[in-house]
Structure 1
Amino acid sequence: MPREQKARRRAARAAPVAVGLSRAAIIDAALAEIDLGGLPAFSLRGLARALGVNANVIVWHVGNRDTVIAEVIAHVLRDVVPSEMPEEGWEARLRGLFARFRAAMRRHPNTAPLIGADAVSNLRPDLPLIEAILSALEEAGVQPERICETYNTVQAAMVGFVTQELARLPTEDLPGWQARIRAGLEAVDAGRFPTLARHLPRLMNRAFILRWQNGAEVPMESSFEAFVDCVIASIATSRGEPWMQ
């Protein structure tokens, strides 16, 4: 067998490339699979079946399951930081980041666990988002000795609200679970929980823990706005104060 032909065969074995398949197409298909069935049902084998290829092709193009998921999240959040940040003050820039982050996750609510409880740390660091947050904090006057803690606060706040708002609902007997939650709240003992009972009409299905639908169906708009207000206000009032040792 000619040497050139042997080399071509070795290259074919080393690179299991499907004709017409690209890295971007795999990421799009993975996101579609997660949108449809959620994270628990997502697997490389299932993705490979949807694409009509062997799972090794996905691994060669992108990587293992964790890497695919990291790329999916990067794709979902790709527009959170504009290519050119608007020329506005730090408060408006931070509010914009919070709003766009939430909007991106609401377009694909099944990906919320991937940035929260099921996140795989630092496989695909979002450097533009990190830079945008840090530059806003610098402009706000956050002192260098406080920058790490304040950045962590903003990052945790940005992720935390959205992952709670879009928390995954039960997959088995959802109507029955919803009916039980609603009935249990309506029967709250006012003698034992007087404060809860007094405010319950305003809280039912609109407050964390006290709901039977998540934010994909019942958005928590006013709560989100109040939450961002609190984060911004805390930065504005404490940016120069030393942390307690």
Structure 2
Amino acid sequence: MRSVWLRPRRTAKEEPPLTLARIVEAAVALLDEEGIDRLTMRRLADRLGIVAPSLYWHVDTKDDVIDLAVDAIFGEAPPGTPKASGWRANVTEVLTAWRAALLAHPWAAAVPARRRPTIGPNFLAWMEILQSTLASAGFTGDRLAAATWALYNHVFGAAASQTALHVTDEERRAGQELLRADGRYPTLAANGYFYDDDWDGSYATGLRYLLDGLEAQLD
């Protein structure tokens, strides 16, 4: 079993003083400060003030640590009971919480696409609310799966782009000038392609388009 969530936990009469909760807390802090590429078991052990082999009582690999850290950030704001304000509002509430978690911890946005499924208990609690909301609205079977992943991909894709893409003012100016001078990209040149960085607005409008389309399927 590759996923840490699908393997049984080790047990012993006396578990070491180092706890899994401490490991995860330190991992999230390290990832926030230095990013995913800088995370190693040795660096995590140094942060905890222990020797690296002590980590292996709780986790087998660095990927285990990342899986646990990802789930931890989705537990920072536990899901509540969906409000009786309509399925669109409830879906938007779930996705707003996901986006906030991803933007607060930029390293996490690209992890699901690069690694294993997100199946920790905190994230699954949110996913249960999302799918139960969609199911209550009338989506079933393949339509439920398609609606779920369209919304999931919108949030994670938008957050990954926002946190990873960094363009300087000079690059924007030079890039836009290139579009105007080349002549093969008139629409991009006319609409300021390199200056399109209204992340919040584009995300909100895209979500509205998705919800409008889903609602049309129900109608």
Q: Is the 8 A contact 1:80 1:97 kept in 2?
A: no
CA distance in 2, matches of 1:139, 1:123: 22
1:191 alignment partner in structure 2: 183
1:132-147 map, 5 Å: 132-147=129-144
CA distance in 2, matches of 1:72, 1:168: 23
Q: Is the 8 A contact 2:112 2:118 kept in 1?
A: no
User: Residues 143 and 115 of structure 1: is their aligned pair in 2 closer, same or farther, counting only changes over 3 Å?
Assistant: closer
1:49-198 map, 5 Å: 49-79=46-76, 82-116=79-113, 118-122=114-118, 124=120, 126-167=123-164, 179-180=170-171, 182-188=173-179, 189=181, 191-198=183-190
Structure label with greater radius of gyration: 1
Gaps of 5+ in 1: 1-10, 208-218, 241-245
CA distance in 1, matches of 2:55, 2:210: 41
**How far did residue 139 of structure 1 move?**
2.1
- Structure with more helix by fraction: 2
Match of 2:214 among 221, 235, 242: 235
Normalization by structure 1: what TM-score? 0.73
Q: Is the 8 A contact 1:67 1:123 kept in 2?
A: no
Q: Is the 8 A contact 2:172 2:194 kept in 1?
A: no
Normalization by structure 2: what TM-score? 0.81
Alpha-carbon RMSD across the aligned residues, in angstroms, is: 2.6
- Percent identity between the two aligned chains: 25
1:206 alignment partner in structure 2: 196
CA distance in 1, matches of 2:133, 2:77: 15
User: Residues 182 and 119 of structure 1: is their aligned pair in 2 closer, same or farther, counting only changes over 3 Å?
Assistant: farther
